[in-house]
Amino acid sequence: MVTSQLGAVFSKLQTLSTSDHASVVSLNLFVALLCACIVIGHLLEENRWMNESITALLIGLCTGIVILWISGGKSSHLLVFSEDLFFIYLLPPIIFNAGFQVKKKQFFRNFITIMLFGAIGTLISCAVISLGVIYFFKEMNIGSLGLGDFLAIGAIFAATDSVCTLQVLNQDETPLLYSLVFGEGVVNDATSVVLFKAIQSFDLSNINFRIALKFIGKFLYLFSASTMLGVFVGLVSAYIIKKLYFGRHSTDREFAVMMLMAYLSYILAELFYLSGILTVFFCGISMSHYTWHNVTESSRVTTKHTFATLSFVAETFIFLYVGMDALDIETWGYVNDRPGTSIAVSSLLIALVMAGRAAFVFPLSYLANLANKSATGNISFRQQFIIWWAGLMRGAVSMALAYKQFSRSGRTTLRGNAIMITSTITVVLFSTVVFGIMTKPLIRLFLPHQKYSTTSIYSEASSMYTTSFLGSGDNSFNDSVGVRRPGSIRELLAAPTHTIHRYWRKFDNAFMRPVFGGRGFVPFVPGSPIERSEHNLPKAAASGSGVNHL
């Protein structure tokens, strides 16, 4: 009896030891592959066909093939995609850094167009994809999918892959395109996730007008509440750091508070069933406008590079992870008997993605051009085509939402659900590789002289005359220079952003910055070279003017 019990204990300990060793091997493999992705991506940086996302995806795919060959094609559980890992640990640093590093002047100058593309456009794309799958999937007989599944598919494939897209656009060469695609990508991801959560929270078996109104109200509530929560946490972090002067005692504490408060905004949003993506994005914008100016010079350098590094590693990890998980044998085993169905579903989804994006890019660009009274700021047809093409790539957000809808703990037991997951993997691989490879050549073909185009000239010239909403420009702002007060309602509607910027800056200088800090309202902290130079700037200017007079 005792011997058998001891044998069971030793067997359990051996199993645990084997499991721990497998985890260590897996961790070593991922770290080595991450290093390989960074090195190879650097070597291929100037290649016109490749970018770091495609490089990581292909390395992950090749690694998955090697692992399956070594294991005899029997098991791939080590490579199971975890949506919790993606949403809780990998996505927050990417989205926060996007908000923290955003060029606010460009972003908010094109804010109306970005919201048209990111919010309204995502709803249009979701509707087109959902209607398409409802019509065609019934003819394909792929499994028992309900209305909620069809609507969820629309939200899943309406989510663009902004990470891969931005790697093929240059902010200096194509400032307008970069601003529009970047802003749309972040708002699109947030809208897709909010829409997906709203779909999951409603019983759509008996849909009627009342349920539709509740659905719209739920969507608007999630969108607005998530935004306000992100701004609130950013303001709280700015107030705490401004009042307690962490940098006077410890730069580590100052940076730790910023990093933890940023992650807290995301966790709070998930706790209250809001959109963590939207919350952490606007938290990043608030922190870059207020909190970052309240810290010492060393903390500024540390935060800027640390957030950028975390985002870069998370992006590379995601594409490597997706590439390796694309060869999940268990999931593909459910569709081996009818591969033609899986190919047909994947082809249909790619066609619907292209149609859904075209359904809003060109019409909404036309509306944006009508609203823009300046011809130099219009979106040309060639730019519209690049915006349409660059947003066709689907990535980790689509995969994570697909696993959340059609699997339980990374496993799928129904044939219809397995077809949807394998089709999602196929669409992600095809769109990232094919559309991603063709984006750079298309930009060079359609916009060969974009660096010297009127758009860039307009962007640089208009920055002399307009101030940015939440901008990081000089604090001194003169109402009489650059922006003329509108004399009629028609003039106000013709240039609404100028008026909004001007009134926001007056409100920001009068009420927000004195309380929460920011450029021009930073307390003097001994030991910081930047703060000391800014503190002594008036004296230096006075002495300099005295010398000139002499």
pLDDT tens across 55-112, in order?
Answer: 888 888 888 888 888 877 666 555 566 777 788 888 899 889 888 887 777 777 788 8
Are 234 and 202 a contacting pair, CB within 8 Å?
A: no
Q: 54-68, 187-201, 464-478, 523-537: which range is least confident on average?
A: 464-478
- Which has the minimum average pLDDT: 121-125, 198-202, 205-209, 253-257? 205-209
Average pLDDT score over residue span 42-59: 79
Q: What is the mean pLDDT of residues 3-9?
A: 50
Which runs of consecutive H residues, i.e. helices, occur in 75-161? 83-85, 91-101, 104-109, 111-115, 121-140, 147-158
Question: CA–CA separation, 246 vs 252, rounded Å?
Answer: 9
CA distance 319 to 162: 13
| DSSP letter, residue 452 | G
Q: Determine the 3-state secondary structure of 1 from DSSP.
A: coil
Cβ 531 vs Cβ 520: under 8 Å? no
Q: What is the DSSP string of 423-443?
A: HHHHHHHHIIIIIHHHHHHHH
Minimum mean pLDDT among 13-22, 251-260, 295-304: which range? 13-22
Angle, helix 175-200 to helix 396-406, in steps of 10 degrees: 10
Q: Is the model's pLDDT at 473 over the cut of 70?
A: no
The residue with greater pLDDT, 230 or 415, is 230
Using only C-alpha atoms, the chain has a radius of gyration, in whole angstroms, of 26
The predicted model scores a pTM of: 0.76
- Whether residue 369 contacts residue 395, with contact meaning beta carbons closer than 8 Å, is answered with no
* Crossing angle (nearest 10°) for helices 121-140 and 175-200: 60
Alpha-carbon distance of 523 to 517, in angstroms, equals: 8
Which residues are paired to 408 by β-bridges? 411
Choose the weakest-confidence range: 226-240, 245-259, 266-280, 355-369: 245-259
- The whole-angstrom separation of Cα 326 and Cα 323 is 5
Q: How many CB atoms lie within 10 A of CB 366?
A: 14
- Grade residue 536 by pLDDT with cuts at 50, 70 and 90: very low
Longest dimension (CA), the chain: 103
